[in-house]
Structure 1
Amino acid sequence: MSKIVKSHRGIYYVEKEGQVYLCKARGLFRNKKVKPVVGDEVDISINNDGTAYIKEIYERRNQLLRPPISNVDQVIVIMSLSSPDINLYTLDKYLLMLELSHIETKIIFNKTDLVDKEYSDKISKIYNNIGYDIYLNSNQENNGKELLNLFKNRSTVVTGPSGVGKSTTLNNVFSHFDFETGSISEKSLRGKHTTRHIEISKIDERSYVIDTPGFSALSLDFINDINDIGEGFIEFSKLKNECKFNNCIHENEPKCAVKNAVQNKKISESRYKNYLLLLEEFRNLRGY
C-alpha cells in the first residue's frame, strides 16, 4: 500500500516502496466528491513513462478538516504565550474541531521565556484540568530534546496560529531536519507565512511529522448542529446528563450543571465565555 506524503495544486506525491511518484487523481473521485488528502493510503497505477495516477483511496481512520489530513495518531497544537499574545478563543475553537474529529490532542505553550511563571502556570492549569497533556517550551532556553518523546512511534500533525514558533520548535527538536521558519512582523505581530503546503516528514520507520500552514481564523462550518459545540467541550460533555433538560445548551436554561460548575469554579470562566461566543458565532453563521 502507498501513502500520499505531500500535495500541491492538484499534484499528489505518493510514496511507494521507498520511491515517490507524482500522481494525479482519477476523475471518478471528483464524481464521488472525494478529494485525496495527505495521509491517505492509496493504490496507484504507474505508466511506462513514469507518470502515475491514484486509482483507489482506502477508508480513513480519521480526518482532520483544517488542514485536510488523514490517518494521524495525534495533533499537537502550539500556542505562544507572548509575541503574539495567546488567543484563548482561537485555541478553544481549534480544540472544538479536534474533539469532534476524535483525534488525540496535546498542547505546547511556547515562548515561556517571554512571560512570568505565574502566567504560564495559570494558562496551563486551565487546560490541564480539562484533561489535555500540556507542555511548556522555550526554544531560547531548551534544546527541544524533552519534547522528542512526544513524536516517537506516532504520526503527528503540528498546528497552531501563524507566528507561534511551530517550525522553530520542530527544528529545535529535530536538528537534522530543516522546517521552514519565519520571523514576526513587528507591525502586525503576526507571523510571516512560511509553511505553505502540507507534507509528511519521515523521522524514522515509525515516526512521522506533518508541519502545517499557520492559521489566524477558523470558520465554524464544520459544526452541523448547535449541540455539537457542547459535545466538543470535554468538561461540558461530562456533565450534560446532570442538566435538567436533555437538550440543554448551557446558556439560559434552569438547573444547568455546566453553569453551576462555572459558578463553583469547577469549570474555567474563560472556557465558558468562549463557549458562549462560539454559540453566537454559530448562530450568526447560520442566520438565526
Structure 2
Amino acid sequence: MQILPGPQQKLPRYMKKLTNFISQRVEMHQESFDLNCPRDFIDCFLAKKEQEKTNPASEFFHENLVGTILSLFFAGTDTTGNTIRQGLLVLLRYPEMAANIQEEIERVIGSNRSPSYEDRNQMPYTEAFISETQRFLDISPVAAPHMVTQEAHFRGFTIPKGTTVIPFLSSIMKSSKYYETPRKFNPGHFLDENGAFKKVEAFLPFGAGKRACPGEGMARMEIFVFLTTLLQNFHLKTPKQREEIDIAPEVESNGHAPRHYQLCVVPR
C-alpha cells in the first residue's frame, strides 16, 4: 500500500497530524493537572498513571494514553456518525417513529434543558429505536480478530490455543431465531409486551467477548445525546416522498454504511 498511488497515501500524514495534536493536548493537561479534580479522560488516565508509577508492568504510560485517544478518534467518529445518519434516514422514511421519540422527549426532558444520557432510562422507545438502528445498519459485519488464550471446544471443533478467531456478527444480528423480522426495521425487537425496553442477547454491534469495542459506552452516549438533541429542537424533512426513501444500508469494502440523502431541519 505504500508503493501504490492513491488516497491511502494521505492516511499516514493525517494520522501523524492527529497524533501530534493529541500529544499536545496531553502536555497541556499535564501542566494544569489536579489529582483531586479530574476534568476528562486524559486527567483520569494521568491519575492512574501517577498511582501506578512504581509498577514496572503498568499499562498506564504516555504512549498508551496517546494510542487510546487516537483509537477513540479514529475508530469512533466514523461509526458513530454513520449510525446517526442511518437513524435520521429511517426517521425520514417513518415520521411516526420520530413522533414517538419526540413524545418521549417532551414527557421526560421537555424543552428547557439539554438531553442527558441518564434520560434514556425513562425513554424505552428511543432506546429501542437506537438499538434497532445499530442492528439494522450492521455497520461492522465482521468483528475485530481475537486470539484464543487457551484451548477451546465449540460445536464439536477444537480450537487450539493461539488461534485467531474472527466473529461474524451478521450471522446473529440478522438471525430469525432472535428477531421476528430480521430484514426489516422494527424497534419492537427491543420492546416487551408492556412497552419497556428489553435487552436481546443477540445484540452485538460492538463485537463479541471480553475484548469488545472499548468505546462502546461513549458511542452509546453520543448517539443518544445527538439524536435526542436534534429531535428536541427540529422536525425532519426531505425533498423526496417517504415511499421513495430506501433505508437499506449500502455495502462498502469494510462494512455497511447509510445511503446518501438530503435532509432539511425545521425548528420546532
Larger proportion of strand: 1
Larger proportion of helix: 2
Q: Same fold (TM over 0.5)?
A: no
The two structures have a TM-score, normalised by structure 2, of: 0.26
The two structures have a TM-score, normalised by structure 1, of: 0.25
